[in-house]
């Protein structure tokens, strides 16, 4: 126990198991030990503990780390409130009274805030790496599909032709924003709270700035009260996960659609699909569905912590212990989801010719025809209406654009000439796009080259 002095009785067993965070904060042991070693070295630098004591403490802590890794020391929830007290207790077993000096000038409040910041910085870096892998996969697949035609949709109705590469590059952009958000989370977490004590600093001459470089922070927090109670960086993290998972869920949903018999656009590998226990013919895109489904829990995690923090008075309150499970769960969910998405895309087959014939028998190039009239000086609103008439004519005559002759077009509007028919060529439809950011294959190739030089 860390506070024996004024207590006559031990914490009730039920109260211990209710309040212990050990089962889920064990994961912080490496950050906890890293922080403790840095703290001990700082205490030595300012003369609060001797070199010999520092050596004993750091050796003891390193041993605890090895024991934990090897499984020979595994503290239990019945005994300890959290990983911080468990490590301190074990250190006392190993080094005797010296262990008691480690806590000089330190509270578990600044300790846990430091551990969480260290952990989040690693988490953000790890997730950034995973996002980069997925971006690379998307760019690779895009580079093989610059000319793979597909319908682009609005309202889930066919709108204008695009390429599969163009569609995938939209996700590369989204993931880039996710990476930026993770950078922001890293930046926000990069200040050291250690040395804030329980809430109001210390009367001891602690040299906070000496710990900064040891732990790889970029600076120290400026107000002890804020540093102890601040969990904004965790909400930023959870929000970064929210948006990242939301992006994955949109791609997952599209994969579910594309792999259906109605679309027949992609074929998922057996390794990432499941069968039905009843219907022998089924091949289900469960991994994509689960990625889509798991967004609910990460949104829930954000709401959990945001609610915990609401109206919480400064500074530390035990409520703050509730920050951990949502954060760890969102991390695990996001990390594994990105990996599954990457593998699913790496192993899926694309039916490259799927839409080539089908889009000839469609009105998907209607806007191109309207644009053609605009270039002849027709106001767009009028050209829109003329093309509407062309579509209506086709529907009545049971025809598509490619079946039309120039005479039929001229009957609808005499300003049409032979070159208007070129608008109906689906194979050159992408090349005719002029604007930057469009699916013009040349522009898409340039973007792929740009991503390749950035990512690979
Ligand atoms: N397990 C606690 C938490 O995560 C550590 C801090 C405990 N501090 C305290 N004053 N009881 O919040």
> E strand or H helix at 332, and its extent?
helix 324-347
> Strands 191-192 and 219-220: what pairing?
parallel
Q: How many residues does the chain have?
A: 456
Intra-chain end-to-end CA distance of the chain, in Å: 52
Q: Verify whether ligand 1 is closer than 6 Å to residue 315 (CB atom).
A: no
Task: Tell me whether the omega of the peptide bond preceding residue 238 falls within 30 degrees of 0, making it cis.
Answer: no
Model confidence pLDDT, tens digit, residues 15-63: 999 999 999 999 999 999 999 999 999 999 999 999 999 999 999 999 9
How far apart are the CA of 117 and the centre of ligand 1, in A? 15
Task: Please state, in angstroms and as integers, the Cα–Cα distance from residue 250 to each residue in 36, 56, 77, 308, following that order.
Answer: 43, 53, 40, 29
Which atom of ligand 1 sits closest to the CA of residue 316? 10
DSSP 8-state assignment for residue 4: G
CA separation for the pair 215, 36 (Å, rounded):
10
Model confidence pLDDT, tens digit, residues 238-277: 999 999 999 999 999 999 999 999 999 999 999 999 888 8
Composition of the chain by helix, strand, coil, percent to 5: 65, 5, 30
CA separation for the pair 205, 47 (Å, rounded):
9
How far apart are the CA of 109 and the centre of ligand 1, in A? 6
Model confidence pLDDT, tens digit, residues 139-197: 999 999 999 999 999 999 999 999 999 999 999 999 999 999 999 999 999 999 999 99
With CA atoms as reference, report the closest residue to 426 among 365, 372, 354, 352. Answer: 365
Band of pLDDT at residue 14, cut at 50, 70 and 90: very high
Task: Identify the sign of the CA torsion 297, 302, 307, 308.
Answer: positive
Residue of 16, 31, 109 to test ligand 1 pocket, by largest number of atoms within 8 Å of CB: 109
Over 80: is that where the pLDDT of 1 sits? no
Q: Give the residue, by CA position, lying nearest to ligand 1 atom 2.
A: 321
Q: Verify whether ligand 1 is closer than 6 Å to residue 321 (CB atom).
A: yes
The encoded tokens of residue 264 equal 């027949």
330 in active site? no
Which SS3 state, helix, strand or coil, does residue 350 take?
strand
The encoded tokens of residue 379 equal 């106001």
Over 90: is that where the pLDDT of 2 sits? no
**H-helix segments, 261-323:** 286-309
> Strands 266-267 and 349-350: what pairing?
antiparallel
* 21-25, 64-68, 274-278, 290-294: range with lowest mean pLDDT: 274-278
One of 76, 260, 276, 392 is an active-site residue; which one?
276
């Amino acid at each position: 126990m860390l506070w024996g002095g004024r207590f006559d009785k031990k914490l009730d067993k039920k109260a211990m198991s209710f309040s212990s965070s050990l089962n889920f904060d064990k994961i912080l042991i490496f950050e906890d030990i890293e922080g403790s070693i840095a703290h001990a070295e700082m205490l030595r630098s300012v003369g609060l503990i001797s070199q010999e004591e520092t050596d004993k403490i750091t050796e003891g802590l390193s041993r605890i780390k090895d024991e934990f890794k090897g499984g020979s020391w595994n503290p239990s929830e019945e005994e300890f409130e959290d990983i911080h007290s468990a490590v301190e207790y074990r250190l006392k077993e190993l080094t005797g009274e010296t262990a008691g000096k480690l806590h000089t000038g330190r509270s578990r409040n600044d300790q846990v805030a430091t551990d969480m910041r260290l952990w989040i910085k690693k988490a953000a870096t790890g997730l950034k790496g995973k996002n980069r892998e997925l971006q690379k996969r998307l760019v690779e697949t895009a580079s093989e599909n610059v000319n793979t035609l597909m319908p682009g949709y609005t309202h889930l109705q066919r709108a204008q032709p695009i390429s599969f590469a163009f569609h995938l590059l939209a996700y590369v952009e989204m993931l880039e924003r996710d990476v930026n958000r993770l950078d922001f989370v890293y930046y926000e977490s990069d200040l050291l709270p250690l040395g804030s004590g329980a809430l109001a600093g210390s009367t001891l001459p602690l040299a906070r700035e000496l710990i900064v470089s040891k732990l790889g922070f970029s600076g120290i927090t400026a107000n002890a009260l804020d540093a102890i109670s601040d969990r904004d960086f965790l909400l930023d993290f959870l929000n970064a996960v929210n948006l990242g998972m939301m992006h994955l869920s949109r791609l997952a949903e599209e994969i579910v659609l594309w792999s259906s018999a109605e679309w027949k656009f992609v074929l998922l590998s057996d390794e990432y699909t499941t069968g039905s226990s009843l219907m022998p013919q089924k091949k289900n895109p469960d991994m994509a569905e689960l990625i889509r489904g798991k967004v609910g829990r990460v949104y829930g995690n954000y709401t959990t912590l945001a609610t915990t923090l609401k109206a919480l008075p400064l500074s530390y309150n035990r409520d703050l212990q509730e920050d951990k499970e949502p954060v760890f769960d969102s991390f695990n969910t996001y990390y594994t989801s990105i990996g599954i998405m990457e593998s699913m895309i790496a192993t899926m087959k694309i039916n490259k010719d799927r839409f080539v014939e089908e889009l000839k028998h469609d009105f998907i190039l209607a806007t191109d025809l309207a644009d053609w009239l605009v270039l002849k000086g027709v106001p767009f609103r009028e050209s829109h209406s003329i093309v509407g008439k062309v579509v209506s004519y086709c529907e009545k005559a049971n025809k598509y654009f490619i079946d039309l002759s120039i005479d039929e077009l001229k009957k609808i509007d005499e300003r049409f000439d032979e070159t208007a028919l070129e608008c109906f060529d689906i194979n050159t439809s992408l090349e005719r796009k002029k604007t930057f950011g469009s699916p013009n294959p040349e522009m898409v190739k340039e973007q792929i080259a740009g991503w390749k030089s950035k990512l690979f």
